[in-house]
Amino acid sequence: QVQLVESGGGLVQAGGSLRLSCAASGLTFSRYVMGWFRQAPGKEQEFVAAISWSGGSTYYADGVKGRFTISRDNAKNTVHLLMNSLKPEDTAVYYCAARRSYVPDVSPRVYDYWGQGTQVTVSS
C-alpha cells in the first residue's frame, strides 16, 4: 500500500520560511517523479514544484521560482519543499504527489498517488 505523508506545515509570518517534508512508503521511490501541489480555499489545485527521479531536474511554478526549492533523498524515500520569503498568497493546503514516470508534469491529473496534505498559513 502506497502512502505519502506530509509534515512541516504551520503558521508563519510573511517573509518567513517553512520546510515541508513528504515521506513515501510502499513504492519504489527512486522510480517516481515527485511533485508538490497546493490548494487555497475557493481555488483550484495548482502546481508548485516537481523533481525528477534522480533529483537532477527540477521544475517550479512561476510564482514560486527563486523562493521555493524542491529536493529529494532517495535513500530515505523523502521529498522536501523549502519555502523562503513566504507571502500571504502562499497560504494553502500543500500536497505531495508521486508519478510513475520519468517525466515531471504540472498537471495533477497524471499523478498516481497523493498525500493527505499539510496546511501552510502565512500571516501578513
Q: What is the pLDDT at residue 19?
A: 98
Q: What is the pLDDT at residue 59?
A: 96
pLDDT < 50 positions in the chain: none
Tally the residues of the chain. Answer: 124
Q: What is the pLDDT at residue 5?
A: 98
Distance CA 10, CA 20 (A): 10
Under 8 Å between Cβ of 63 and 85: no
The label of the residue with cell 507571502 reads: 87
